[in-house]
Amino acid sequence: MSNFIYNSYSVEHPGVVRFYPTDEQRLAAQQAPRRHRYEPAPQPLLTYLIAGAAVLVVVFAALFESAESWGNGFLLSAWMVLWAIAFAGVALLSGPLRRTFKLLGNGYRAWVQSRQQAAADERIWNAALQDARLMADLARAMDRQRR
């Protein structure tokens, strides 16, 4: 009788190995150069200057128009005030709007990633329904997660 046994079969299920990346693949993915998105630097002063220049352009354009057609100048002054409020609103809301769009983009990317993960989980589950060994591996993994 022998004291030891040589196993000639693989201890890892090929279906499980195919679904999960190896340590070398994870390391290579972490070390790969990442593509960065272009994000302009926050420049509130420049935004205020642009809005102020736009207001001046509107005011000078309105002054060179015939003042009689505006009806005693009240309509002209109201028009200039409305444009000044509009440009000031653009200048003041540029930061919060940028943050809102960034937050919405991050939420959308997280939603897409969760949908992709759910689809991958569904594929693994369907494969496990056909293969008892893969189902046993999944059951052991879920047991380990509960502890």
19 within a domain of the structure (yes/no): no
- Does the residue 121 lie in any domain? yes
Band of pLDDT at residue 4, cut at 50, 70 and 90: low
15 vs 24, more confident: 24
% helix, strand, coil for the chain, step of 5:
75, 0, 25
Residue 31 domain-assigned (yes or no): no
Domain carrying residue 111: 41-146
pTM for the whole structure: 0.41
Residue 42: closest CA among 86, 117, 102: 102
How many domains does the chain contain in total?
1
Q: Is residue 136 part of a domain?
A: yes
The 10s digit of each residue's pLDDT in 57-75 is 777 766 666 555 555 667 7
* 117: in domain: yes
